[in-house]
Amino acid sequence: KAGVTQTPRYLIKTRGQQVTLSCSPISGHRSVSWYQQTPGQGLQFLFEYFSETQRNKGNFPGRFSGRQFSNSRSEMNVSTLELGDSALYLCASSLRTGDEKLFFGSGTQLSVL
């Protein structure tokens, strides 16, 4: 069974631009969560989608948004990029929502210049 696939693997953007990251969950998994990982803040929850609906959202500004499609694939978007948005963005999938073990992808490394 294929794991969680995230594309692209690396991305370089400049301040003010926007970016879209993609995540394909494990087949059959309906929940997709997004996390940001930085050396300064560690792993922080961004949001979770389940059955195309945002289940909950972490403490991030509105510039961070996401969506989930009917095939459970998910995208997250960051608008008006800031230098502090440079991070590893991790997507994780699980069968259901609520107290479920998460299966993470390898992440997208975003660098904002």
Partner 1 sequence: GESVGLHLPTLSVQEGDNSIINCAYSNSASDYFIWYKQESGKGPQFIIDIRSNMDKRQGQRVTVLLNKTVKHLSLQIAATQPGDSAVYFCAESLPNTGNQFYFGTGTSLTVIP
Q: How far is the CB of 99 from partner 1 (least distance, A)?
A: 4
Q: What residues numbered 4-63 form the site for partner 1, per CB under 8 A?
A: 4, 31, 33, 35, 39-45, 48, 50, 55-56, 58
Alpha-carbon span 32 to 105, nearest angstrom: 11
Burial class (CB in 10 A: 0-12, 13-18, 19+), 45: middle
Q: What's the gap between Cα 42 and its chain centre?
A: 15
Of the residues 81, 105, 110, 112, which one makes contact with partner 1 according to CB under 8 A: 105
| Residues near partner 1 (CB under 8 A) | 4, 31, 33, 35, 39-45, 48, 50, 55-56, 58, 90, 92, 94, 97-107
